[in-house]
Amino acid sequence: MNSYDNFFLPIDNMEEAKDFYGNKLGLNLKFDFSDKGMSAFNVGSEEPAIILKDKMKFPDAKPTIWFVVDNVVETYNDLKGKGIKFLSAPFRIHTGNAAEFEDPFGNRLGITDYD
């Protein structure tokens, strides 16, 4: 794991959530893909963002932390070899590949790369 990538938070109401994170907390909007069920906010000058996931579009969304790795497929295979059960095979996102899994306590984690 090289660094944090993003922090995903499930929400019930996108407009209310954008108001809370943007206007009340004063975070800057990084991107707004509300039509796809996601909006992101920067925390200061940090690259990792808080990404809000609309539970209407992502009904199984859970709070999730993603980590940056050099190569998702290689890391996926290595972690599977150590007994980690992934929620799916690696999948494509706008910036590279990703895969998610849960720790033994039900916390959701993910890995992503930038290719």
61 vs 11, 64, 78, CA distance in Å? 9, 8, 25
82 and 51 in a single domain? The answer is no
Asked whether residue 61 falls in the same domain as residue 27, the answer is: yes
Range of the domain at 88: 69-115
Taking only the tens place, the pLDDT of each residue in 11-64 is 999 999 999 999 999 999 999 999 999 999 999 998 899 999 999 999 999 999
CATH number, position 3: 3.10.180.10
pLDDT in tens, 59-106: 999 999 999 999 999 999 999 999 999 999 999 998 899 999 999 999
Q: What are phi and psi of 98, to 5 degrees?
A: -150, 160
If one counts the domains in the chain, the total is 2
Q: How far apart are CA 70 and CA 44, in angstroms?
A: 25
pTM: 0.89
Residues 31 and 56 in one domain: yes
Rounded distance between C-alpha atoms, residue 23 and residue 27, angstroms = 7
